[in-house]
Amino acid sequence: MMDGIAGRIAERIRNGGPISVAAFMTEAMFDPREGFYATKNPIGAGEDFITAPSVSQMFGELIGLWCAQVWMDMGQPETLQLVELGPGTGQMMSDIVRAWRAVPGFTQAAQISLIEASAALKMVQGRNLTPMGVEAMWLDRLEDVPPGPAIFVGNEFLDCLPMRQAIKHEGQWHERLIGLSETGEAFAFVLGPPLGVEADLLPERLRDLPDGALAELRPGDQQVIDALADRFKTHPGHALFIDYGPATSEPGDTFQAIRQHEKIDPLAAPGTADLTARVDFEQLAIFARSAGLDVSGPTRQGAWLKALGIEVRAANLIRHAPEKKTAIARQLLRLTEPDQMGELFKVMAISTQGQTKPPGFTPEG
Ligand code: SAH
């Protein structure tokens, strides 16, 4: 017997037929009563998953200094919109703001907005940021950010935007949908109708794959890029995305569910696990360049953090707190080593055309 969110999704499928992976993700994550993000904070060692800002303060601090450098390269505009997409607990923003204390003028210039879909996480963000004296605005959409020069940052934001899947079948891409098993007691994947014109959203590199191939489509990425492109035409800006995924488009199913640090079947218990998919950085760059934006990266997170000086920062922290040496060294490795977060995670900046290239990227990337 399926109840709660699962029951409501099953009912929707019984009435209207199988739904897309994207629709399933949206219901499971943001159902106002029981959605995974809607009701609680899942981020942290004792919760469901860990993200880079919760590993170490160094991560947010370096991003804070990155923002300050970009602001200087933009000519130090008097006001700068600083926007975080999907701020989670607010940890990264609090480290960003702390790092600015070393940068004259920047704190006065920055107006902070947080774009957050979860009511529960908005409360956690407020609790963490208000005592630091951070004045932030909470907004629902990127389009609501006040005009003017801007920097957007998003860590592990794109991976939770709704993703769709397609399978090549008899020479045509068909959407892979979620329906009900024969007994009606569980969810099951089913082959849907051909994609038709929506095949335009397929990663370019994967379009000609043979029958049986699976590809993922990211309408959410396209929407974010469209909104940024619209804004960046009139107001100069940069957007920094850090997330996990390949540098070149890869076929295959990356739909995953994480609950209490373990992978589970993504169809098993919607609302109880984080549902995500890998970000396809090659396709993200294609979307951005076709919208007339400049792209830096993707660069591996480890290389990017090292270019920004994470090793020097770690050495400084250890000098001030020698008793924390082992912990800080471990955090550094966690963020930068190839077999930890250093290689799977990539960093990409998407910018108004013709701006100074942001720090941390090589001239070619
Ligand atoms: N950046 C944080 C949190 C990552 S989890 C960190 O690194 O720790 C993903 C975050 O994005 C959560 O805060 C989630 O509620 C938010 N989110 C997911 N989809 C969103 C959407 N469509 N609009 C706004 N926020 C969203």
Query: Quick one: average pLDDT of 299-328?
Result: 97
User: For atom 17 of ligand 1, which residue has the closest CA?
Assistant: 86
- Does ligand 1 lie within 6 Å of residue 119's CB atom? no
Residue 364: pLDDT band (50, 70, 90) is low
Q: Is the pLDDT of residue 295 over 70?
A: yes
266-276 pLDDT tens trace:
999 999 999 99
* pLDDT value for 21: 98
Query: Quick one: average pLDDT of 172-200?
Result: 95
User: For atom 3 of ligand 1, which residue has the closest CA?
Assistant: 88
- Does ligand 1 lie within 6 Å of residue 114's CB atom? no
Q: What are phi and psi of 208, to 5 degrees?
A: -95, 15
Query: Quick one: average pLDDT of 123-147?
Result: 95
Q: Is the pLDDT of residue 49 over 70?
A: yes
Token readout for 304 is 């990017």
- Does ligand 1 lie within 6 Å of residue 163's CB atom? no
Q: Is the pLDDT of residue 347 over 60?
A: yes
Q: Which of 38-52, 186-200, 324-338 has the lowest mean pLDDT?
A: 38-52
Query: Quick one: average pLDDT of 320-328?
Result: 97
- Centroid of chain to Cα 332: 21
* pLDDT value for 362: 82
* pLDDT value for 33: 85
Closest CA to 152 of 234, 79, 63, 44: 63
* pLDDT value for 31: 87
Out of 30, 118, 125, give the residue to mutate to test ligand 1, the one with the largest number of ligand atoms within 8 Å of its CB: 118
Q: Is the pLDDT of residue 365 over 60?
A: no
Query: Quick one: average pLDDT of 234-242?
Result: 98
DSSP 326: H
- Does ligand 1 lie within 6 Å of residue 113's CB atom? no
Q: Where are the alpha helices (DSSP H) in the chain?
A: 4-16, 21-30, 36-39, 52-55, 57-73, 91-100, 106-109, 119-129, 219-234, 281-290, 301-307, 310-320, 325-336
In angstroms, the CA 296 to CA 351 distance is 8
Residue 350 Cα to ligand 1 middle (Å): 19
- Does ligand 1 lie within 6 Å of residue 276's CB atom? no
% of the chain at pLDDT higher than 90: 90
- Does ligand 1 lie within 6 Å of residue 86's CB atom? yes
- Residue 71: partners with Cβ closer than 8 Å, 6 or more residues away: 77, 80, 106, 109, 110, 151
Q: Is the pLDDT of residue 180 over 60?
A: yes
User: For atom 16 of ligand 1, which residue has the closest CA?
Assistant: 86
Query: Quick one: average pLDDT of 83-107?
Result: 94
Helix (H) or strand (E) holding 294: strand 294-300
In angstroms, the CA 34 to CA 52 distance is 26
- Does ligand 1 lie within 6 Å of residue 117's CB atom? yes
Looking from the CA of 310 toward its CB, the CA atoms found within 13 Å total 26
* pLDDT value for 76: 97
Residue 244 Cα to ligand 1 middle (Å): 14
Residue 39: pLDDT band (50, 70, 90) is confident
- Does ligand 1 lie within 6 Å of residue 38's CB atom? no
Query: Quick one: average pLDDT of 55-79?
Result: 98
**CA distance readout (Å), 246 to 182, 223, 254, 277, 343:** 36, 20, 11, 11, 9
Print the SS3 string covering 211-266.
CCCEEEECHHHHHHHHHHHHHHHHCCEEEEEEEECCCCCCCCCCCEEEECCEEECC
Which 3 state secondary structure label does DSSP give 340? helix
- Residue 322: partners with Cβ closer than 8 Å, 6 or more residues away: none
In angstroms, the CA 35 to CA 271 distance is 5
Closest CA to 83 of 4, 158, 14, 143: 143
- The overall average pLDDT reported for the chain is 95
Closest CA to 55 of 30, 88, 78: 88
Query: Quick one: average pLDDT of 48-53?
Result: 93
- Does ligand 1 lie within 6 Å of residue 88's CB atom? yes
Closest ligand 1 atom to Cα of 52: 7
